[in-house]
Amino acid sequence: MTSQGHPQARLERALATANPTLVRAAAAELPRVGLEDAFRICLVFLQGEQARYEPAAVRWLGRLALEARGLSLAEAQIAAAALGGLGGLAREGSAQALEVVLEQRGLLRAARALEALPSRDGLAQP
């Protein structure tokens, strides 16, 4: 451990900056990134490195299907469609739909991260 603290604390700080480079470096220090943090990383990519967003979102969706006990097919479909819509014109509706799924699965930190997502106009362009 460095003088900068535990790797998880560094990831938290990096996520707070929304700097994709810092987030990738901090995540690489961890043996495993939790499901909620992986989702928050996806949102950082959506805002700052859109080319990395879709592959990360697909991996996260796979993890959600595997790790969220009792996830229904309908919830998985909503999550997939909402992830696809976050970068488009239907961002607000997609965020709301995904927030419901996340809350139902008890992923409250991930759901709160959606609330901080800027409007479509505030997203970086590819």
Whole-angstrom distance, CA of residue 59 vs CA of residue 82: 15
Whole-angstrom distance, CA of residue 123 vs CA of residue 91: 10
Q: How many domains in the chain? A: 1
Task: Answer yes or no: is 91 within a domain.
Answer: yes
Quote the mean pLDDT of the chain: 91
Task: Answer yes or no: is 16 within a domain.
Answer: yes
Task: Answer yes or no: is 11 within a domain.
Answer: yes
Annotate 11-59 with DSSP letters as a single string: HHHHHHHT-HHHHHHHHHTSS---HHHHHHHHHHHHHH-HHHHHHHHHH
**Confidence band of 2 (pLDDT split at 50, 70, 90):** very low
Task: Answer yes or no: is 100 within a domain.
Answer: yes
Tokens, residue 105: 């699965």
CA-atom Rg of the chain in angstroms: 14
Residue with tokens 């709160």: 112
Please tell me the pTM assigned to this model: 0.88
Q: Which domain holds residue 109?
A: 7-122
pLDDT at 94 over 80: yes
**Confidence band of 4 (pLDDT split at 50, 70, 90):** low
Structural contact between residues 7 and 26, judged by C-beta atoms closer than 8 angstroms: yes
The pLDDT tens digits of the residues spanning 40-78 come to 999 999 999 999 999 999 999 999 999 999 999 999 999
Task: Answer yes or no: is 79 within a domain.
Answer: yes
